[in-house]
Amino acid sequence: MVSFTHRDAGTGEDAWAASGLASLPELPLDAGELAGRSFIVLAAHPDDESLGAGGLLARLRYLGARVTALLYTAGEASHPESPTTTPEQLAAVRLQEFGGALGHLLTDPDWQFLALPDGRLAEHGPAVRTALQRAIAEVAASGLPAEQITLVAPYRHDGHPDHEALGSAAAEAAGAGGHGLLEYPIWYWLWADPSDPAWQSWLRLPLDPAEQRAKAAAMDSHASQVRALSGQPGDEVLLPPAFLEHFDRPFETFAWQRPAAGGGDGSYAAADAEGVFDAVHTGNDDPWQYNTSWYEHRKRALTLAALPGLNYAAGLEIGCSIGTLSVELAQRCASFLAVDASSAALAHAARRLEHLPAARTRHLTVPQDWPEGHFDLIVVSEVGYYLAPGELAELFDRVEAALMPGGTLALCHWRHPISGWELDGDSVHAAARRRLGWADAGVYRERDFILEVLMAPGPGGDPLPGDAVVLGSDS
């Protein structure tokens, strides 16, 4: 859990505006698809719904979609040091504000108040989940298929304990029931910064002027949060203008998890990678700041240093993206092949590698597609979690068949959850060790990523000599 308060200056909107956020791919739901769905909107506190999804709600009203809102707390703990307003008084005020805000966003708002304690939703998991399941059951009773029910909830890694408890419950329910899930970040915009990879797989909902006006009016209804309760200490404004700038954008941003028909985890798989990442790379030469981010430079240097051999006969990089690591790898290989599912990303990689005659690129979606030949170096970096679990197992079967005896498999992955995808870095590396059973020639692990080198058995079937080196304490 990150540590922050509303008093922190945090990341300014100028930094987010310069990050490329406005060029994220659009949410792939047109007016007809939105109108045909039913939405259950979860708010931990009054104002969450307006900040994170007010524009979406205004659009749903225009389209005539069914919307149910669940408000879990009254937000009574927002001003714990107030000399003028008790928590009970504040709860009454904020509930009235919530109803007023929804009046700007929905026609005849349908909402329920669960009356759970502000700041303690994590302690009330059963009640949180029961209320959500009841709401889902009420919608499903109308005969709507599971995949046409979409949950809209706070981002499950937003940094606020109530937001994370609610987001996690929504993710669990969506995965188990086969529903769509839209997660909206709020405090993330304050404590995170553009170098964080999490937002770069999110999607954007452009808002028209009427939707922006409705959202602004809804936010203004939350007077206890956007204006001071009084001029006395402890009654200061909770959401100052600098923070509200993050929500004045002409778009809203969501982590989108597709519904899985008939239930399932609702996550993307390899077949989705080309469309998702072509959209990310189109119009942006470096969407993940591979060229400018110190995180990326440092991780790349550590990956290269971890390779036990100076030179290799034949190298293969799975998921090369725009080719920043590829250039370094190719210079250590007599022949080198870089593959990626995104043709847009691969075009950048090809230009980056064109001065190296031994380097080639191919447009392949692994594990369904696989290059011919054998390799003594295979690198799988920041790509394993973009596969479904069964696809990941097939990938390692492919690696096992293609890697020469005594060859090197290098794995490097971000350790945090990937929005819209089922796996994370730790689960990818655990699957590699379990599936292959190869000797571990080195592991480096820290808070943000894990780097690991596995060695294929030698010609006689036994692991080659060498001791594993384990570094890093954040396990």
Nearest CA to 113 out of 127, 142, 85 is that of 127
Return the axis-axis angle of helices 48-63 and 209-221, rounded to nearest 10°: 140
Q: Which amino acid is at 329?
A: L
Neighbours of 310 (CB within 10 A): 6
Query: What tokens appear for 281 in the block?
Result: 């790379």
Neighbours of 138 (CB within 10 A): 14
pLDDT at 131: 96
Residue labelled with tokens 């011919």 = 372
262: left (phi over 0), alpha (psi -120 to 50) or beta: left
Whether the pTM exceeds 0.85: the reply is: no
Number of H helices, E strands in the chain: 16, 15
Long-range contact list for 466-473, CB < 8 A, 24+ apart? Answer: 466/308, 466/439, 466/441, 468/439, 468/440, 468/441, 468/442, 468/443, 469/441, 469/442, 469/443, 470/442, 470/443, 470/445, 471/443, 471/444, 471/445, 472/443, 472/444, 472/445, 472/446
Dihedral (CA of 13, 19, 22, 28) sign: negative
pLDDT along the chain (475 residues), means of 10: 70 94 86 94 97 98 97 96 96 97 96 96 94 96 92 94 93 86 96 86 92 98 96 94 96 85 47 57 62 87 96 96 95 96 86 94 91 96 90 95 97 80 85 92 89 90 45 39
pLDDT at 470: 38
pLDDT at 264: 42
Contacts of 3 (CB under 8 A, 6+ apart): none
Q: Which amino acid is at 91?
A: A
Same topology for domains 13-266 and 294-471, yes or no? Answer: yes
- Asked if residues 76 and 90 have their Cβ atoms less than 8 Å apart, the reply is yes
Residue 169: phi and psi, rounded to 5, are -65, -40
Fold of the domain built from segment(s) 294-471: Rossmann fold (3.40.50)
Query: What tokens appear for 14 in the block?
Result: 């100028």
CATH number of the domain at 13-266, please? 3.40.50.10320
Torsion of CA 56, 57, 60, 66, to 10 degrees: 130
Nearest CA to 255 out of 149, 153, 183 is that of 183
User: Domain ranges in the chain?
Assistant: 13-266, 294-471
